[in-house]
Amino acid sequence: MKVMTVGSPRAIEAITLAERLDPGEPGAGEIRVAMHGSSLNFHDLAVVDGYIPSEDGRIPLADGAGTVESVGAGVTEFVVGDMVVSCFFPDWQDGEPVAGGFRRVPGDGIDGFAREAVVLPATAFTHAPRGYDAVEAACITTAGLTAWRALVVDGQLKAGDTVLLLGTGGVSTWALQIAKLMGATVAITSSSDEKLKRAKGLGADFTVNYRQEENWGKAVLNWTAGQGVDHVVEVGGPGTLAQSIKAVRFGGHISLIGVLTGTMGEVPTAALMSKQVRLQGITVGNRRQQQDFVRALNSSGIRPVIDSCFPLEQLADAFKHEASGSHFGKIGVQW
């Protein structure tokens, strides 16, 4: 079986094509899935680059979608031929977050989906959205579910709310589509006027180039006539949090889901407290939330924004494209 692995020392250049034993047939409660698509996330890049340590020879990619080839005894949720998509936390089925970190996350603590086939518990997958191909389906596992949980599950987004999104990567483009689906008004930032133009085409109501407007939090605040936005999907981390707090309303909600500007930094606690802002750390979501997201996608007709797609054998090139920051939306991988 063909797989892609990451060698040592960690680097994009250390990604190589290798052969592994076929996983065989599924046991009780398991399914065998022929994998056909994935999408890249910052988390995957961090594993490949060594920013997140993992075992030598790790098979990367947390997102995976494909077709059920066979089912083990006792499996009734799936049948042969079903298109399925992986869960980021395969052991977190429902309820509140559980301890464990990333030790059971595919492509991190365990092998991921950059391979031809897998045999895993049926509970490590959900049905894919109807009509999605494998690459589109794989886009929901990490980025899509993160945006859904941030806005709908924990943010309790409702029609008429205002939302601020940072950048135009996978999470933010998903969040833009979800917010518009729910009847919200959306502001979005980018360093690229061309990307902001594309965001407008997806329904963004207000755009701001943060390279041209350093005090972009105030610009968003002014756009809301001084009231502030109801929700912020904060993917930057310490380098952007102060501006996000400036932009949010009193009693508003900030979903802290990214560390693109680093993992440590100053937090303007006085502003956070005086505005009584709810600052919530979010890491993807559970299987039940993914099933709810899939139902919403089935009834909405929205599809992920895919910047480009690479063959599995060109996975290193896909990561180089991600590292360049030039993409808009998701980067797909197909085989």
Q: What string of DSSP letters covers 236-263?
A: S-TTTHHHHHHHEEEEEEEEE---TT-S
> Sign of torsion, CA 144 171 188 257?
positive
User: Does 83 map to a domain?
Assistant: yes
Please check whether residue 166 is in contact with residue 156, taking contact to mean a CB–CB distance below 8 angstroms: no
User: Does 148 map to a domain?
Assistant: no
State residue 267's pLDDT score.
78
Residue type for position 196: L
Task: Examine the domain organization and report whether 24 and 49 are in the same domain.
Answer: yes
Task: Examine the domain organization and report whether 124 and 217 are in the same domain.
Answer: no
Task: Examine the domain organization and report whether 289 and 185 are in the same domain.
Answer: no
Mean of pLDDT values over 63-90: 98
Task: Examine the domain organization and report whether 112 and 192 are in the same domain.
Answer: no
Task: Examine the domain organization and report whether 246 and 304 are in the same domain.
Answer: no
Give the domain CATH number at 207: 3.40.50.720
User: Does 149 map to a domain?
Assistant: no
Task: Examine the domain organization and report whether 197 and 84 are in the same domain.
Answer: no
User: Does 255 map to a domain?
Assistant: yes
State residue 100's pLDDT score.
78
Give the domain CATH number at 34: 3.90.180.10
pLDDT tens digits, one per residue of 261-295: 667 777 788 888 899 999 999 999 999 999 999 99
State residue 98's pLDDT score.
84
Task: Examine the domain organization and report whether 96 and 169 are in the same domain.
Answer: no
User: Does 147 map to a domain?
Assistant: no
Lowest-pLDDT choice from 13-22, 50-59, 135-144, 216-225: 50-59
Domain that holds residue 277: 155-281
pLDDT(15) > 90:
yes
Instruction: Please name which of 206, 205, 208, 249 lies closest in space to residue 227, comparing C-alpha atoms.
Output: 249
* Phi, psi of 70, rounded to the nearest 5 degrees: -160, 155
State which of 281, 300, 323 marks the end of a domain: 281
Mean of pLDDT values over 123-141: 98
Task: Examine the domain organization and report whether 14 and 51 are in the same domain.
Answer: yes
User: Does 260 map to a domain?
Assistant: yes
Task: Examine the domain organization and report whether 124 and 245 are in the same domain.
Answer: no
Residue 73: C-alpha distances to residues 19, 96, 122, 214, 244 (Å) = 28, 29, 11, 59, 50
Q: How far apart are CA 261 and CA 219, in angstroms?
A: 21
230 beta partners: none
Please check whether residue 37 is in contact with residue 120, taking contact to mean a CB–CB distance below 8 angstroms: no
Helices in the chain by DSSP H: which ranges?
Answer: 42-49, 134-138, 145-148, 170-181, 193-201, 216-223, 241-247, 269-274, 287-300, 315-324
User: Does 58 map to a domain?
Assistant: yes
Task: Calculate what percentage of the chain has a pLDDT beyond 70.
Answer: 99
Q: Could you tell me whether strands 229-234 and 248-256 are parallel, antiparallel, or unpaired per DSSP bridges?
A: parallel
Please check whether residue 279 is in contact with residue 258, taking contact to mean a CB–CB distance below 8 angstroms: no
Task: Examine the domain organization and report whether 248 and 304 are in the same domain.
Answer: no
State which of 244, 265, 281 marks the end of a domain: 281
Kind plus residue range of the DSSP H or E element containing 332: strand 330-334
State which of 281, 298, 326 marks the end of a domain: 281
User: Does 150 map to a domain?
Assistant: no
Task: Examine the domain organization and report whether 161 and 272 are in the same domain.
Answer: yes
Domain total in the chain: 2
State residue 64's pLDDT score.
98
pLDDT(148) > 80:
yes
**Please, is 173 exposed, middle or buried when counting C-beta atoms within 10 Å of its C-beta (0-12, 13-18, 19+)?**
buried
- Look-up of token digits 């500007």: 261
Largest CA distance in the chain: 61
Which residues, in sequence order, are CB contacts of 76 under 8 Å at separation 6+?
A: none
pLDDT tens digits, one per residue of 168-186: 999 999 999 999 999 999 9
Task: Examine the domain organization and report whether 291 and 264 are in the same domain.
Answer: no
State residue 262's pLDDT score.
66
